Amino acid sequence: MNIPALIAAIVLPPLGAFLIRGMGRDFFIAIGLTMLFFLPGMLFSLFIVCGGSTDRPAAAIARRWRAIRPVRA
């Protein structure tokens, strides 16, 4: 587990999301949740830091399928 990201997720939730996922969708969701109330942003960032996935299931399945499908030459 990434201890600096875990501490950042507790103190400044968007920073914790940024350290794990970069400046993408999860970072902006963490900013929005933190601006509404601090606790939802912190819980969302902790979910990301602890290994939670916010990918849609269909996208994750498609990505795995492309990885195992044989490549034709």
Q: Domain boundaries in the chain? A: 3-68
Per-residue confidence (pLDDT) for residue 70, from 0 to 100: 63
Q: Residues 43-52: pLDDT tens digits? A: 999 999 998 7
Per-residue confidence (pLDDT) for residue 68, from 0 to 100: 72
pLDDT at 56 over 70: no
pLDDT at 67 over 80: no
Can you tell me the mean pLDDT for 33-55?
88
CA 15 – CA 2 distance, rounded (Å): 13
3 in Cβ contact with 47 (< 8 Å): no
35 in Cβ contact with 46 (< 8 Å): no
Query: Has this prediction a pTM greater than 0.75?
Result: no
